[in-house]
Amino acid sequence: MSQRTFKIFRYNPETDKKPSYKTYTIEVEPSWTILDALNEIKWYHDGSLTYRRSCRHGICGSCAMQINGLNDLSCELQISNYPKDPIVIDPLPGFEIYKDLAVNMEPFYAALKRVKPWLINDNPPPGSERLQSPEEFKLMGDSIACILCAACTSSCPSFWTDEDYLGPAALLKAFRYTFDTRDEGFEDRLEALDNKHGLWRCHKITNCFTACPKNLNPTEAISKLQRKVVSEKW
Amino acid sequence: MIHRHDVIIVGAGLAGSRAAVEIGQTANVAVLSKVYPSRSHSGAAQGGVAASLANESKTDRWEYHMYDTVKGSDYLGDQDAIELMVREAPETVIEMEHWGCPFSRTPEGLIAQRKFGGHTLDYGKEAALRSCYSYDYTGHVLLHTLHEQCLKHGVHFYSEFQVLSLIFRDNRAIGVVAWDIVNGGLHTFYGRAVMFGTGGYGRAFKITSNAHANTGDGLSQVIRAGLPVQDMEFVQFHPTGLWKSGILVTEGARGEGGYLLNGEKRRFMEDYAPTLMELAPRDVVARSMQTEIDEGRGIDGKNYVFIDVSHLGEAKLKERLPQITELAMNFAGVDPVKEPIPIQPTAHYSMGGIPANANCRVTYDAKRSETVGFYAGGECSCISVHGANRLGTNSLLEALLFGRRAGKQIVEDLSHLEFPELPADYEDAATEEVERTMAKDGEEKAATLRAELQETMMMDCGVFRSRGQLEKQRDKVEELEERYKNIRVEDKGTRFNTDMLEAIELGHLIEFSGAIVEGALQREESRGGHARKDFPKRDDVKFLKHTLAWREPNGKWKLTFEKDVVLKGITHPGFEPKERVY
């Protein structure tokens, strides 16, 4: 056990005039993650501290937040990765604050829906599975592993300045279906993609790539989509 | 506020979402979830979904899958429901592929399949490649594909609404009362049909693979409505939980060739299951591991053993098991390419649950009499296709397949189900629970009580159990229930009050833990996931029966062992109970 200090963003719009930071010093175990520390604070020191969490092993995407200025999943990061006190924890930037570290994710999910995130193929399916070779399967890359934690979209300056921008997560989903050899919905998705709030808002800042806790590369996916749009149109 | 929809589904995991896709095409369906739908715990399932597609094991057939499931269940599974499941498995999985689920592929372009524990060819002769997978993200891709289908079909989601009570009167489900997590406040949802897909109850145990959200709320809501729960004592301990955290290392790791080593660096499974070795069913492997640990043959005499996958090589690990490679690094500080992973049994799956038939209609007695307008599917239900022990990859199958069946059944039943009347006291139970919880200003911390419950359930109602331990644990649960009255909720606000909601969830954990312990105590035999040191043999004369447990108004549990197990399939003559050897 050792003592560590956490400086955590606090804001309840119902009762607080403005946000503030609250500092907690607690005993932590060597193997603990940032989420373990938040749980310790909430469960034994301050029940009002509010954040989302569920699976605590990096697959549900609930607990994305900003840790020492970088978006990441609090459940996946060991406290020992951050040798200096205090460890500063903020909510994901770019979203309305519901309370403390919990933000309004509705715009994020609304953007996702705009890219029609489902397989589009009107041909009647065969009696068994549609065939897809291992090489074709790999055209989707790692995009199928996206957990929709919003770490990428929330790290994107283009998203901060354009609330209508689809953002890297929704574009990665568009990539996932566009590069699925079973999908025929390229034209259907063009309206959402091919405009200034879509693909062309991406300025290759690559924050999304750095922020992704699953080591996915939305920037690269967006570039591939852009090339496809250009080559199909002209 | 009152919301009216044709169908109310609680839970957005595979069962709830699959039913919603079915219903959403013809009726107005609302799905309530206490997390955003794509964060449901179905997404954590890794290794695959079972179906005898025969893509890889060319001689595979549903009869083998049925035999494996029945034998795996230690003969407590209902064979009519099992036959339905294994026969409909291929079309259920293929349908997910047609909806765009990205599956790993064979060189011919078919859905790839891998080995999993207890799945065999030719009635136990050799391991079968039956688990359809997508890397080790199978649950994740199925969940996301289904959620996206729900979006396509305009399913109405109420995300971050936590259900507090089931409105159930005169054998009819009417609706639910839920708390709006973001803004606070009660919302009543009523409809012509109500379905629970509320997930499992692993969070009652200290070492668990389950999410924080898996607090079995649906189970205690059913108990509080005066309905029974079934076979609650059957809790699956998955053999390969990461040491200390219990985070899951997929059984696919053994399916791909990983093996288990004790402190003597020996593959101890040869002593317990010489034919299937590490690919014996989970209850067998978990007990073998626990025995090694209890007899001092853990690593350095400690409470863990190793799973070694390093011989598979970096390329194969990346290709087949990328997630567990990452998990081992992040949560155990171990690089599985180079060194073995420390593991211990982890509470993983709830075989018990809300009694329901193969059409997912909830039943309420030993004669399987049906409730009206009330359906259950997935892990919260007990249909019972897993009996005393579930085989790996049969849970994703169950959730998809019975979600599908529930959806179809509900669509059919809507032709005669009218909107019920809300009773005058529809909101009283939920209002009372919120007021009582918010007023809590006592000396106890909810977290302390929860930790005590989880530790003692693990210790005295875990992999091995005995009368002495269980009687002690019964007293402990009663003590915790008493102390629960004296907890303190610090957050007194309405907005995003997770302090209050965690306290309410603790009430659920304590409530249904009573049923687990009472079932474990009264079932004086060892079967599947329930292992009694003082009754080490299966007793088919007394206990080839389902347990039904009701909570009486005085707080005592009433249990019966009168519900017969179905030993015949619909068309198949069934498999007679035999000694289970692997």
User: Which pLDDT tens digits describe chain B residue by residue (582 residues)?
Assistant: 999 999 999 999 999 999 999 999 999 999 999 999 999 999 999 989 999 999 999 999 999 999 999 999 999 999 999 999 999 999 999 999 999 999 999 999 999 999 999 999 999 999 999 999 999 999 999 999 999 999 999 999 999 999 999 999 999 999 999 999 999 999 999 999 999 999 999 999 999 999 999 999 999 999 999 999 999 999 999 999 999 999 999 998 999 999 999 999 999 999 999 999 999 999 999 999 999 999 999 999 999 999 999 999 999 999 889 988 989 998 998 999 999 999 999 999 999 999 999 999 999 999 999 999 999 999 999 999 999 999 999 999 999 999 999 999 999 999 999 999 999 999 999 999 999 999 999 999 999 999 999 999 999 999 999 999 999 999 999 999 999 999 999 999 999 999 999 999 999 999 999 999 999 999 999 999 999 999 999 999 999 999 999 999 999 999 999 999 999 999 999 999 999 989
Structure tokens at B199: 């997930």
Considering only CB atoms, which chain B residues are within 8 Å of A47?
Answer: 488-491, 499
What is the rounded CA–CA span in Å between residue A85 and residue B214?
33
Per the CB < 8 A criterion, the answer to whether A150 and A92 are in contact is yes
Structure tokens at A75: 């459940």
What is the rounded CA–CA span in Å between residue B23 and residue B7?
8
Chain B interface includes A13 (CB < 8 A): yes
Q: How much is the pLDDT for B527?
A: 97
Chain A interface includes B149 (CB < 8 A): yes
Q: How much is the pLDDT for A233?
A: 83
Q: E strands of chain A, at which residues?
A: 2-10, 20-28, 64-67, 70-73, 87-90, 97-99, 102-103
Nearest CA among B412, B403, B410 for reference residue B17 = B403
Chain B interface includes A107 (CB < 8 A): no
b/e A74-97 (16+ beta carbons within 10 angstroms → b): bbbbebeebeeebbbbbbbbbbeb
Q: How much is the pLDDT for B476?
A: 98
Nearest CA among B333, B168, B376, B158 for reference residue A80 = B333
Task: Fold for A106-233, please state it.
Answer: Fumarate Reductase Iron-sulfur Protein; Chain B, domain 2 (1.10.1060)
Nearest CA among B567, B352, B387, B399 for reference residue B50 = B399
What is the distance in angstroms between the Cα of B148 and the nearest Cα belonging to chain A?
Answer: 5
Chain A interface includes B97 (CB < 8 A): yes
Chain A interface includes B346 (CB < 8 A): no
Is the Cβ pair A109, B36 closer than 8 Å?
Answer: yes
Determine the residue among B135, B316, B324, B495 to mutate to test chain A binding: the one whose Cβ has the most chain A Cβ atoms within 10 Å: B495
DSSP state of B75: T
What number is the average pLDDT over the span A30-43?
Answer: 96
Please tell me the number of Cα atoms within 13 Å of A119 on its side-chain side. 22
Active site residue B436: no
Please tell me the number of Cα atoms within 13 Å of B123 on its side-chain side. 4
Name the β-bridge partners of A79.
none
The single residue listed with the structure tokens 């050792």 is A2
Residue A234 has pLDDT above 90, yes or no: no
Is the Cβ pair B151, A118 closer than 8 Å?
Answer: yes
What is the rounded CA–CA span in Å between residue A176 and residue A119?
10
Determine the residue among B496, B497, B506 to mutate to test chain A binding: the one whose Cβ has the most chain A Cβ atoms within 10 Å: B496
Is the Cβ pair B105, A134 closer than 8 Å?
Answer: yes
Q: State whether the Cα torsion B472-B473-B476-B478 is positive or negative.
A: negative
Per the CB < 8 A criterion, the answer to whether B354 and B381 are in contact is yes
Q: Compute φ and ψ for B422, nearest 5 degrees.
A: -75, 130
What is the rounded CA–CA span in Å between residue B482 and residue B463?
27
**What's the CA angle centered on B11, arms B190 and A59, to 5 degrees?**
155
Q: Which residue of A has its CA nearest to B492?
A: A48
Q: How much is the pLDDT for B365?
A: 98
Is the Cβ pair A102, B494 closer than 8 Å?
Answer: no
* Environment class of A33 (CB within 10 Å of its CB; exposed 0-12, middle 13-18, buried 19+): buried
Nearest CA among B16, B42, B156, B97 for reference residue A119 = B97
Is the Cβ pair A133, B331 closer than 8 Å?
Answer: no
Domain limits, chain A? 2-103, 106-233
Considering only CB atoms, which chain A residues are within 8 Å of B105?
Answer: 132-134, 136-137
What is the rounded CA–CA span in Å between residue B153 and residue A118?
10
pTM of the model: 0.97
What is the rounded CA–CA span in Å between residue B352 and residue B379?
8
Query: Which DSSP helix (H) or strand (E) runs through B495?
Result: none
Is the Cβ pair A76, B110 closer than 8 Å?
Answer: no
How confident is the model over A122-178, as pLDDT tens digits?
Answer: 999 999 999 999 999 999 999 999 999 999 999 999 999 999 999 999 999 999 999
| 3-state DSSP percent of chain B in helix, strand and coil, to 5 | 40, 25, 40
Chain B interface includes A93 (CB < 8 A): no
What is the distance in angstroms between the Cα of A120 and the nearest Cα belonging to chain B?
Answer: 9
What is the rounded CA–CA span in Å between residue A169 and residue B27?
31
> Which residues neighbour B67 within 8 Å (Cβ) at sequence distance 6 or greater?
B120, B123, B124, B575
Q: Which CATH superfamily is domain A2-103 in?
A: Beta-grasp domain (3.10.20.30)
Residue A60 has pLDDT above 90, yes or no: yes
What is the distance in angstroms between the Cα of B563 and the nearest Cα belonging to chain A?
Answer: 35
Per the CB < 8 A criterion, the answer to whether A80 and A72 are in contact is no
b/e B281-293 (16+ beta carbons within 10 angstroms → b): bbbbbbbbbbbbb
CB interface of B with A, residues 498-517, below 8 Å: 498-499
Is the Cβ pair B107, A134 closer than 8 Å?
Answer: yes
CB interface of A with B, residues 54-73, below 8 Å: 54-62
Is the Cβ pair A62, B141 closer than 8 Å?
Answer: no
Structure tokens at A117: 């995130």
DSSP state of B527: B
Rounded-to-10 torsion of CA B405, B408, B412, B417: 80
Is the Cβ pair A60, B111 closer than 8 Å?
Answer: no
Determine the residue among A108, A118, A129, A139 to mutate to test chain B binding: the one whose Cβ has the most chain B Cβ atoms within 10 Å: A129
CB interface of A with B, residues 185-224, below 8 Å: none
What is the rounded CA–CA span in Å between residue B389 and residue B361?
22
Q: Which of B282, B465, B523, B580 is catalytic?
A: B282
Position B260, amino acid: L
Nearest CA among B113, B192, B193, B156 for reference residue B376 = B193
What is the rounded CA–CA span in Å between residue B363 and residue A141?
45
Is the Cβ pair A134, B151 closer than 8 Å?
Answer: no
Is the Cβ pair A131, B323 closer than 8 Å?
Answer: no
Considering only CB atoms, which chain A residues are within 8 Å of B496?
Answer: 50, 98-100, 102
> Which residues neighbour B417 within 8 Å (Cβ) at sequence distance 6 or greater?
B192, B193, B372, B373
Which long-range contacts (C-beta less than 8 Å, at least 24 apart) are formed by B466-472? B466/B532, B466/B533, B466/B534, B467/B521, B467/B532, B467/B534, B470/B517, B470/B520, B470/B521, B471/B521
Q: How much is the pLDDT for B319?
A: 87
Q: How much is the pLDDT for A54?
A: 97
Per the CB < 8 A criterion, the answer to whether B386 and B207 are in contact is no
Q: Please tell me whether residue B114 adopts helix, strand or coil conformation.
A: strand
Chain A interface includes B103 (CB < 8 A): yes
**What's the CA angle centered on B326, arms B321 and B327, to 5 degrees?**
100
What is the distance in angstroms between the Cα of A25 and the nearest Cα belonging to chain B?
Answer: 19
Per the CB < 8 A criterion, the answer to whether B36 and B160 are in contact is yes
Query: Quick check: do A2-103 and A106-233 share a fold?
Result: no
Residue A1 has pLDDT above 90, yes or no: no
What is the distance in angstroms between the Cα of A126 and the nearest Cα belonging to chain B?
Answer: 9
**CB neighbours of residue B435 within 10 Å:** 9
